[in-house]
Structure 1
């Protein structure tokens, strides 16, 4: 099920930013629009790439939420710069099977994704990170936290000068933890992001254990367990 406006705990909120939601499914668009408005965003809707282009030429948006399943989505990317003067950050809504296609296209802090079926809490959290811009989890060179760096263009990771030999599942897990640095992620959230469905506690524990052996060979330890709640990434002595 898609998330609802009654999800708990408290959701990440906006500060009046204008967001363009480009979703073909009317029911999903309604859920997103209602939720974002309750979270203090100004929302405009488009159901096709062509309609989205019209909106983009008429208004300046701080962020776009885009369903990659739209058949004419490419029209937005092909639009010349004079037509679309400002291209805001993009949060993609994508099926798990489409990750291989969109991951190489993720930019330096300008694009991110959540997998469908999505949870509203995760959509809002990813939007908040994108709107913070390069000063948060992103900077030139890719996603980073301290000496841990992910390069989405090459799907590579390193800790300091040491390259991390990660499997695709480990990479997706590390990216999910990094984008949500200092935020505790449940096993279900992690599983749905990495595999598209819930694989069970043991599979997640094994995946986290393998990732820890690669990431936390160097001090300080960055991947932590909040027993009974889930996992989080960050310095234990740093402020959230």
Structure 2
């Protein structure tokens, strides 16, 4: 699915040029000719990236940037004729992710757009771990299996994360105890077995196939 980009610039000639060029590159592009209109378009159809001019009547680009940063983390590329160091610093400190000075080569604009979208994709990828039909959300400490939300306690989350970070690898009991409970436990406690049971119950609640398997005499392994 192509990325959606909102261009906010009161210079209709430049906005039209950017729209035509990015559309040719395969992006879905919406154009707004002032800050208020741009904020409305973003509210109605949240984009993957915003290209934002600074000097606009009414709500200028800096204020648009502030409002967007207050409500979310949409990547913002400022495109403006203000090229002093102070202007660049102000734009970046307001919340812009990148700053491109007019006039610019269209190829450079495309390169900046691709870099920002790639950075966002990488950040999103780091927030999740996937194995089979199971997804672990590293931000919310929850999991989903076949779209079914699975709430986890702190210990359950830590244990499941360890398994999902090491798929198809046999993890010894001592290693799991050290990583999850923070110490090398040699005693007879069955706490690990209890928590593996908790996880299996939650992961297999809808009769899904088992993912956490016991390897007799060795430990546990996550596999299909």
Bigger relative contact order, structure 1 or 2, given CA contacts below 8 A and separation 6+? 1
Larger radius of gyration: 2
Question: TM-score, normalised to structure 2's length?
Answer: 0.47
Question: TM-score, normalised to structure 1's length?
Answer: 0.44
| Larger helix share, 1 or 2 | 2
